[in-house]
Structures are given as C-alpha cells and as structure tokens.
Chain A
C-alpha cells in the first residue's frame, strides 16, 4: 500500500509538472494563448517553419504565435475549445506516440520533427486529420504574413490592385 501510494504520488507530481509547470512567460499582448499554449504553438512552429531556405522567414519572424492568438480570439467558442484541445493533444500525446517522457515543447528539434511526422503519416485517419488541421492553422498564419507573400512572389495584378484600392469596379 505504501509503495502504491508513493508511486501514485510520484506519477501525480510528474503529471502536474508536465501539464501545468515549466512553461516560459507568454509573449506580451496575447489575448487568448496563455503560457502553455503559446509555448506549444511556438514549438510546433519551430519544427514546421524554421528559419532559412527559399523563404527565409521563420514562424517566429512571421509572427505565427500572434496570428494564432488573434485567430482563436475570432473563432466561435466551440472551435476555440477544439483548438485548445488540439494543442493539448499535440503537447502530451508524445508520451504515447513518441515513447518519451518529454512533452512536445521540451523535445529537441529533431525529435519534435519525427514526432510530428508520425502524425502526418499515421495510419489512423483522425490522427492525420489532427495534423492537417494544425498545418492549416500554420499555413494561414505563415502565408498571411506580408513578407512571406512577397517572398513567394504573390502579387496582385495592377488592374486588380487598382480596383482593390478604389473598392469598386
């Protein structure tokens, strides 16, 4: 009984630490994302959209965390809850899918990429859908950044720009 109690205490302490503690301060000015979710959003962003390459801007430089925060503020309550659950799932399902004692935001970059690849290529449909949802959020955030749009060559033709400025044909 003593040992069972001790084990429960250790697991409980570890679980509380994993779920609630050790997250850095959230960036200033966020409306919805707290310490934990802003850390998760940032950790995923580092894996999906690192600096360098043909489009040099990283997720951080494209202000992805701020975008996600703004987006979550905008969507209906039910959707916001689902998004929060999605981040929670991504953060803590690592114990099962990556066979590690680290949560996603504490993994090193390579391990994080391998873990997320597991979601992308999973044989379980709803795991893939969860990753697609995540990719959609990051896609909107990243491609919503004017610097990224410019780097990818996205431009509106002059005849449309003229109309957009006027607001009328």
Chain B
C-alpha cells in the first residue's frame, strides 16, 4: 500500500507539468473519467489487486483554488467555463464538472436511492433483468458505509432549509434532511463552487487517493481521444496531455489495457466513441436518448431575515410528489446566478438585490421524458447538445412550481418571484399556487437549467436499440464497458450520483469475476 498524505490527497496525481515526453502504459483496467462512477470502478479494481490506470481531462483542484466569485469558479471547475448550453426549442444551461473528482466536487453531495418504480421501468421496458432496489441495495450500502453518508445535522441547517421543512410540515407532506457524503460540514452553502473547507468527501479526496494507495496510477490533464480497436476488441486508448486553463497540449499517451471502462460522463463518453470511428454504435444510439432533469425555482420573500447563504446548500428535500413527476428541494446557488430572475430595471432591480437576505429559493425538479442528442464536432472536444423540452414535462414543471408556491404560502412568504414568462413577475404568495396551476405554460416560458444527465449510451437487452448490455458491456465490442449515467436508459427521478456509483460497483464486481 502506498501511504497517502490526507492533507494533500492529490500529491501523487500526475498533472500537465509532469508530462515531458510521450508516455506508454499497460494495465489490466483503464478507467476514463474520475467522477463518481469512474472513481468507484478504479477503487474497486485497484483494491482487488488489478493494475489500474485512471485518466482525467481536468486538473486536480482543492480548497485553495475555490473562490466564491461565480465567474472564476465557473472557469476553474466547469466545461466551457460553465456556459455550456443545450439548444433546441429552449436554451438550457447545463454544467459539467471539469476537474479531478468530476461532479462529486461541485454537486450538493446528495446521496439518495432511486425509487422502486424507476427500476421497474428499467426492467420491464428496457429488459435490464437485474434492475430492482433489492438487487442494488448491497452496492448502495457499500458506498454509503465507505463514504460515511449521513443526514444534514440540525446545527448547519440554516433558516432557508428550516423554512422548507416547516412548509412541508404545515402542508402535511413528506420531507427529509438530505443525506450527504461529508464530514465536518460548516454549512457555508458553497457546495456548487467547491467545498471551501474540504468537508465534502468528493471522490478526489476519498476513492481516488485510496485507489492510488492500492496501486492505481492517476493521470490528470490527460484527454482520452481515441479507442484502440483491434478486430472486435478494444485494447486501449490514445490520449493527449492538455491544460484547459492555458489551452496548451502536451505529449501523447498510449495505454494498453485488458479492459477499458468509459466513465467520462454523458457528454464526453459519446464524443470519445464518435471520434473513435463511431465505435460501439451499430444501434445508432450513441449520443441519442439524451435525458435531463430540468429544474425551475421560485424565490420567496419573507418579512424575517433568512440569510439564505447560510446553511447546507440543499439541506432539505421532499419526494412526496415523485410519482407525480417531480422532486422538491431547498436550494442555494451563487447570488449572481439566482439574481437573473429578478424583475425590473434600475432601482427596482436593485431593490430586489437589497431584499436578498429576506429571500429563499425552493426548486422543483422534473422527471423528464423529453430527449435530445450529443454529437461530437469535427474540430474540438466540446459537443453540440440538442434538446427539446416537451409540453408534458413543461406541465410537470408547472405543477411542481405550483406546489413550491403552496410551500411558500404555507410558511409565511408574502411575495414570490416566479421567474416565468406569461405570469406576473411579482406575485402575492397568497393564491399564487392556484394561478400557476391554471396557467398554460409553453416550454419557452420557463427559465430552466439541468445538470443531471442520462441516457446517451443507454443500457438495454436489445442490441438494436441500446449501446451496452445489462452488465455495462458494449454490445458491439469486447473488453469495452461504460459505467457513467449515460447507461441509465431513463432518468432516476432523484439525484443520480448515488445510484450510478452503486451501478459502477455492481458492474466492477462482475468484471472481477470475468478478468
């Protein structure tokens, strides 16, 4: 075992400045991507004694790199400086992390199991025979225990989350403190811009150092560019050192592996396949079936001082309406991002900024049936993302927002800023829910964003309409597996991180038997 310095968990990660000449590597397993799924796969296989190489295009970052200023953080941590947008009948911002640890660095650390009905759909509609909560439970538990997942403690809840809880209680609907992978959170509400205290147990501070300790070699600033395919087998990957901050590229790398596991994320995995001469795509489904969890928020204004920037970023949530199609959450994000929805000009606009300390945003996140696509560009590595929000999902979001308005009314907000076109920009909380429910919203009336992404390399029993089989193996190519949320054939209805990690754990257990 290699000892890891817990004060500097990235010390043994290779980065751009370490690459002075072309590199050749051989290993049992090559894992591409260090987000939640890739990290679990690399950790499991390393601990089992396999020789593992882990590639990450982004760079290692830590608390010293995090700043609260939104623009610098977006450049630092996200692809396309945080301005990536899916285009179609709406323009929808979607943020993907671009750093060691991937999404686990910049999400709210929410660990929640997918509901039973999701697995039923996967099994009955997509032929994924193992799909059930019971079958995935041992894998959930393994991650839960390793990651020391626990509910948000009352002392870091903050008034914003408490208001959400009180609202749910007043309406008599289910709510719960979110369960998160953290140790020593101080409730700074800075989850989306990188945990400044290092309390979030993101994979770059947990699974990856432990994988390194077990012998894995981790190459950051290394972009996976093309699969090496010999006959019907994938035998490795060609990669290139790259530093997105300075735009420089460096030496090439060639990795030969007995098995290659793609975990680059829903946007990047299809691009790698498409740039590898459209590999693993006899079904034509690589890059298709792109699914999001679109969300929309309402800002409530209270008489009392809320100080919404205090407390856990997403400390409370409700799955009461999950079967109706939406999840409700308390939320905080950089103030500048939320201010986009403030109405008016000049002094009016500024008066809302001045009221910030009296506000709280609650959000509705919809299970989506709308689909899109992700396609590699001829030049460059940022894909073209197309997405059309359908009327059914728009109605679900409207219903969710109507419930959010009800929550605000139930807990004493006096004014709402719904941020919708075709609706009063400033509404009295009293009666707002009914008004919203009765409104006919079109997809373009909603200001929405989405960062949970699914489905662009979907799993299924039928090779004609899926990319990987129920074990995560490519239908077309041997020794190629995919483990990121792209394999989920439809959305999880809740935050997907915990489920994709459990699935990665399950798939790698299978790999240990096979290789």
A interface residues with partner B (beta carbon < 8 Å):
47-50, 52-55, 67, 70-71, 74-76, 78-79, 113, 116-117, 120, 125-126, 128-129, 132, 135-136, 139-140, 142-144, 148-149, 151-157, 159-160, 163-164, 167-169
Q: Which of A79, A144, A151 lies at the interface centre, i.e. has the most chain B CB atoms within 10 A of its CB?
A: A144
Q: Shortest CB–CB separation between residue A169 and chain B, in angstroms?
A: 4
Would you call B345 and A139 a contact (CB within 8 A)? no
Is B354 located at the chain interface by the 8 A CB criterion?
yes
Known: A49-B346, A140-B70, A151-B354. A163 touches B339 (CB 8 A): no
Would you call B70 and A157 a contact (CB within 8 A)? no
Q: Shortest CB–CB separation between residue A135 and chain B, in angstroms?
A: 5
How far is B337's CA from A143's CA once the two chains are assembled, in angstroms? 10
Would you call B186 and A154 a contact (CB within 8 A)? no
How far is B349's CA from A130's CA once the two chains are assembled, in angstroms? 18
Given A157-B310, A160-B186, A164-B197, 10 other A-B residues pairs in contact with their CB atoms under 8 A: A48-B349, A53-B347, A71-B71, A132-B447, A140-B337, A143-B335, A143-B353, A152-B357, A153-B357, A160-B188
Would you call A47 and B63 a contact (CB within 8 A)? no
How far is B353's CA from A152's CA once the two chains are assembled, in angstroms? 7
A68 and chain B: residue at smallest CB distance: B71
Contact residues on B (Cβ < 8 Å of other chain), bracket: 35 or more
16 A-B pairs whose Cβ atoms sit less than 8 Å apart in the complex: A50-B347, A55-B350, A55-B354, A78-B382, A125-B90, A136-B340, A139-B340, A142-B353, A143-B70, A144-B70, A153-B357, A154-B309, A157-B187, A163-B186, A163-B188, A169-B197
Would you call B444 and A125 a contact (CB within 8 A)? yes
Would you call A167 and B336 a contact (CB within 8 A)? no
A146 and chain B: residue at smallest CB distance: B69
Question: Which residues on A sit within 8 Å (CB–CB) of B80?
Answer: 76, 79
Q: Shortest CB–CB separation between residue A122 and chain B, in angstroms?
A: 9
Please classify the interface of chain A as helix (H, G, I), strand (E, B), loop, or mixed, using the class held by over half of its residues: helix
Would you call B350 and A129 a contact (CB within 8 A)? no
B83 and chain A: residue at smallest CB distance: A79
A143 and chain B: residue at smallest CB distance: B336
A165 and chain B: residue at smallest CB distance: B196
Give 4 nearest A-B pairs by CB, closest first: A54-B354, A163-B197, A160-B188, A53-B347
CB interface residues, B 53-76, toward A, < 8 Å? 63-64, 68-72, 75
CB interface residues, B 306-362, toward A, < 8 Å? 307, 309-310, 334-337, 339-340, 345-347, 349-351, 353-354, 356-357
Is B81 located at the chain interface by the 8 A CB criterion?
yes
Q: Shortest CB–CB separation between residue B277 and chain A, in angstroms?
A: 26
Is B154 located at the chain interface by the 8 A CB criterion?
no
- Within 8 Å by CB of B91, from A76, A116, A129, A164, lies A129
Is B199 located at the chain interface by the 8 A CB criterion?
yes
Q: Shortest CB–CB separation between residue A68 and chain B, in angstroms?
A: 10
How far is B353's CA from A50's CA once the two chains are assembled, in angstroms? 13
Is B251 located at the chain interface by the 8 A CB criterion?
no
Would you call B337 and A136 a contact (CB within 8 A)? yes
Question: Which residues on B sit within 8 Å (CB–CB) of A67?
Answer: 71
Q: Shortest CB–CB separation between residue B244 and chain A, in angstroms?
A: 9
B interface residues with partner A (beta carbon < 8 Å):
7, 63-64, 68-72, 75, 80-81, 83, 90-91, 183-184, 186-188, 190, 196-199, 307, 309-310, 334-337, 339-340, 345-347, 349-351, 353-354, 356-357, 382, 421, 444, 447
Q: Shortest CB–CB separation between residue B3 and chain A, in angstroms?
A: 19
Question: Which residues on B sit within 8 Å (CB–CB) of A129?
Answer: 91
How far is B98's CA from A72's CA once the two chains are assembled, in angstroms? 19
Would you call B197 and A75 a contact (CB within 8 A)? no
Would you call B351 and A53 a contact (CB within 8 A)? yes
Q: Shortest CB–CB separation between residue B27 and chain A, in angstroms?
A: 33
Q: Shortest CB–CB separation between residue B455 and chain A, in angstroms?
A: 25
Q: Shortest CB–CB separation between residue B7 and chain A, in angstroms?
A: 7
How far is B196's CA from A135's CA once the two chains are assembled, in angstroms? 27
How far is B307's CA from A157's CA once the two chains are assembled, in angstroms? 10
Q: Shortest CB–CB separation between residue B428 and chain A, in angstroms?
A: 21
Would you call A75 and B347 a contact (CB within 8 A)? no
B347 and chain A: residue at smallest CB distance: A53
How far is B351's CA from A79's CA once the two chains are assembled, in angstroms? 31
Q: Shortest CB–CB separation between residue A34 and chain B, in angstroms?
A: 20
Would you call B353 and A148 a contact (CB within 8 A)? yes
Question: Which residues on A sit within 8 Å (CB–CB) of B354?
Answer: 53-55, 151-152
Would you call A135 and B340 a contact (CB within 8 A)? yes
Would you call B81 and A49 a contact (CB within 8 A)? no
Would you call A164 and B81 a contact (CB within 8 A)? no
Known: A47-B346, A74-B71, A163-B197. A156 touches B63 (CB 8 A): no
Question: Which residues on A sit within 8 Å (CB–CB) of B83?
Answer: 75-76, 79
Q: Shortest CB–CB separation between residue B42 and chain A, in angstroms?
A: 25
How far is B178's CA from A68's CA once the two chains are assembled, in angstroms? 37
Question: Which residues on A sit within 8 Å (CB–CB) of B68?
Answer: 156
Would you call B356 and A48 a contact (CB within 8 A)? no
Would you call A139 and B71 a contact (CB within 8 A)? no
How far is B349's CA from A120's CA once the two chains are assembled, in angstroms? 13
Would you call A74 and B90 a contact (CB within 8 A)? no
A158 and chain B: residue at smallest CB distance: B186
How far is B242's CA from A85's CA once the two chains are assembled, in angstroms? 29
Known: A74-B81, A144-B71. A159 touches B186 (CB 8 A): yes
Question: Which residues on B sit within 8 Å (CB–CB) of A151?
Answer: 354
Question: Which residues on B sit within 8 Å (CB–CB) of A49?
Answer: 346, 349-350
Question: Which residues on A sit within 8 Å (CB–CB) of B188?
Answer: 156-157, 160, 163-164
Would you call A55 and B353 a contact (CB within 8 A)? yes
Would you call B199 and A169 a contact (CB within 8 A)? yes
Known: A47-B346, A143-B353, A156-B309. A74 touches B197 (CB 8 A): no
Would you call B346 and A50 a contact (CB within 8 A)? yes
Would you call B81 and A76 a contact (CB within 8 A)? yes
Question: Which residues on B sit within 8 Å (CB–CB) of A136?
Answer: 336-337, 340
Q: Which of A125, A126, A149, A151 lies at the interface centre, i.e. has the most chain B CB atoms within 10 A of its CB?
A: A125
How far is B336's CA from A132's CA once the two chains are assembled, in angstroms? 12
How far is B427's CA from A32's CA once the two chains are assembled, in angstroms? 41
Question: Which residues on A sit within 8 Å (CB–CB) of B64?
Answer: 167
Would you call B69 and A144 a contact (CB within 8 A)? yes
